[in-house]
Structure 1
Amino acid sequence: MKSSAPTIRDVAAAAQVSTATVSKYINGAQRFSPKVEAALDEAIAALGYRSNPLAKSMITGRTNTIGLSVLDINNPHFSSILKGANRVAHEQEYSVLLVDTEETPSRERRTLEDLSRRVDGMIVFSRMREHEMGWMAGIDKPLVFFGSLNELAIPTVASDDHGGAFMLAQHLRMLGHKRIAYLGFSRSRRDEERLGGIRECLDAAGIELTVHDGENPSMVEGERLCSGVVLGPQRPDAVICYNDLMALGFMKECANLGLSIPRDLSVVGFDNIAYGKYVTPALTTVDLQSERMGATAMTKLLAVIRGEQVERLTKVAPQLVLRASTQARKG
């Protein structure tokens, strides 16, 4: 019959100290003389004692767990963010508790408030507009937000969406494209930044932009929008998609409609997800450094938890990734 696990009382008896002394020692609440600590270490090792994380959290008020809220874990962009955040958390002996709000703003507040009661701090993605997020500043846990905020005093980590969008538009402009469309997702605050970067570049060249708004940032939506974009009277010669998922769905439907990319039109996206490298033609995109963003956000949050001062906004620079889905226009 398997013996029961050793308890804090067993450690106290073996080390000839009180249970209170054992509790304070294993939870780091107090230091003792070298002789007492040596006796405690010897007893813990001999008995194979393992502390109870739940009991420890009740004593210290800490869970050593960070909450990470993402919008859609099926999107590889968020998977990469989780990977970067989890790596830093593991190095600092923290665990990550992931929640997926599934692109549903109506459930975000309740989900985040519930999450806050189980973690030491949170890293948050949200589709809410800033004027709807005042309650978030009242959560009594350290927070780091993904994206730019103008008024709320919450530390943030953001990609340079405006700069990345400008790069994509400039690339298409240099290839000689004159009729450019944007497949956007206006429910996202990042859409506004991307659209702003595209317009800044194209307006300077006197190139008009046609905008199509998607209902969600998915491959299915890119596929659904495609026919309305390419079969109309003013077919574009280049399409910028809100993200790579929309771009991949759009490219698939272009092939179904008998169009060749990039011969008939160039297509680009955002995020540099792994799939984009392996489709045919490979997708030109902007790498927003998703994994680095996750690592940066986790590093920043852990600094806040330690009581350190951090900069209000940390921006991660994008990188243009050129592949075969774009080519120069002829004539």
Structure 2
Amino acid sequence: MKRAAPTIRDVAAAAQVSTATVSKYINGAQRFSPKVEAALQSAITSLGYKSNPLAKSMITGRTDTIGLSVLDITNPYFSSILKGANRVANDRGFSVLLIDTEETPSRERRTLEELARRVDGMIVFSRMREHEMTWMAEIDKPLVFFGSLNELPLPTFASDDHGGAFMLTQHLRLLGHKRFAYLGFSKSRRDEERLGGIRECLGAAGLDLAIYDAEAPSLLEGERLCSSIVLGSGGPDALICYNDLMALGFMKEAANLGVAVPRDISVVGFDNIPYGKYTTPALTTVDLQSERLGAAAMDKLLAVIRGEPVEKLTKIAPQLILRASTLARRG
């Protein structure tokens, strides 16, 4: 016959205290003398008692859970964000509840409002423009947002997309490239920042930029748009892609079309996803420090939950990763 799980009453009887004392102890609502706490811990350990998280949340109003809303968990960039955030959360006694909005802005509001009822705070990625997000500031839970905001009073964290794009473009300029193209994703506000860094660098040299816009930041879109980019007259000798996934999709289709990377065209991306160094050729990219970003965002949110002051924007510097998908041009 299966033995019944020990209850709070069993712990109280073993420690010779009231059930109210046990409840306050396990929920951290009150401290007791060392003697009483030792008796309580001894009873809990010997009985194998485990508290009910749901009951605890009803008493304390806390779930010890953080919500993380990402745009596409199949993208390795967001997997790294989750890894960094989860590590910090676990170290602080929190768990992470992941929500994937699947690059669908229309479902974000309902999803986030439902998530807010189940967590102590949220880290949010969104494709929405700032004027569409005023409701987000009204959610009655601590929230940290990814990306720069001009008006909404939310603490934010971000990578330096503008600086990373400038570095990447400058590298290609120093290799002697003259004909530049950008395979972008205009539905993302980060696209504006990356495009701004590229244009600043090229503008200083008097160089033009051809722009191609993808429907999604995916392998398939990089593959689909490849022929439009490389088969026209006067095509680019350097392509900057919005992210590594699009760059890898482009490189695959370029090989099918008989276009050699980097002999015919240098290709670069953003994010430094793990697959990039295993392709042939390996992909030059900007490492946006995604795992560090996840950890920094979680640190910031937990500080907000504790009621501590935090800076409005936390920005992490990128790093240029040089590999074989770029080649110097002569003449």
TM-score if structure 2 supplies the norm length?
0.99
2-structure distance, mates of 1:304, 1:328: 48
2-structure distance, mates of 1:231, 1:140: 53
1:228 alignment partner in structure 2 = 228
1-structure distance, mates of 2:288, 2:41: 47
2-structure distance, mates of 1:238, 1:11: 70
1:59 alignment partner in structure 2 = 59
- Report deviation, 1:250: 0.3
Residue 163 in structure 1 maps to residue 130 in structure 2: no
2:123 alignment partner in structure 1 = 123
1:301 alignment partner in structure 2 = 301
* Structure 1 spans left out of the alignment, 5+ residues: none
2-structure distance, mates of 1:274, 1:42: 47
1:323 alignment partner in structure 2 = 323
SS at match of 1:56: helix
1:147 alignment partner in structure 2 = 147
1:237 alignment partner in structure 2 = 237
1:69 alignment partner in structure 2 = 69
- Report deviation, 1:284: 0.4
2:187 alignment partner in structure 1 = 187
2:30 alignment partner in structure 1 = 30
* Structure 2 spans left out of the alignment, 5+ residues: none
2:99 alignment partner in structure 1 = 99
Equivalent runs, 1:282-301 vs 2, <5 Å: 282-301=282-301
1:214 alignment partner in structure 2 = 214
1-structure distance, mates of 2:328, 2:46: 72
1-structure distance, mates of 2:16, 2:326: 75
**CA distances 1:13-42 after superposition (whole Å, capped 9, x unpaired):** 222222111111111111223332232222
2-structure distance, mates of 1:118, 1:191: 32
SS at match of 1:12: helix
Q: Which moved more, 1:301-310 or 1:33-42?
A: 33-42
- Report deviation, 1:62: 0.5
SS at match of 1:28: coil
- Report deviation, 1:234: 2.3
Code of the aligned partner of 1:300: K
- Report deviation, 1:309: 0.4
SS at match of 2:233: coil
Code of the aligned partner of 1:218: S
1-structure distance, mates of 2:226, 2:264: 14
2-structure distance, mates of 1:304, 1:291: 20
Code of the aligned partner of 1:145: F
**CA distances 1:170-225 after superposition (whole Å, capped 9, x unpaired):** 11111111110000000000000000000000011010000000000000000000
SS at match of 1:207: coil
Q: Percent sequence identity over matched residues?
A: 82
Residue 205 in structure 1 maps to residue 205 in structure 2: yes
**CA distances 1:74-97 after superposition (whole Å, capped 9, x unpaired):** 100000000000010111011000
Code of the aligned partner of 1:215: E
1-structure distance, mates of 2:50, 2:243: 46
**CA distances 1:253-309 after superposition (whole Å, capped 9, x unpaired):** 100000111000100000000100000000000000000000000000001111100
- Report deviation, 1:146: 0.7
2:267 alignment partner in structure 1 = 267
**CA distances 1:106-151 after superposition (whole Å, capped 9, x unpaired):** 0001111111110000000000000000000000110111111110
**CA distances 1:49-101 after superposition (whole Å, capped 9, x unpaired):** 11111111110011100000000001000000000000101110110000000
1-structure distance, mates of 2:238, 2:74: 27
CA RMSD of aligned residues (A): 0.8
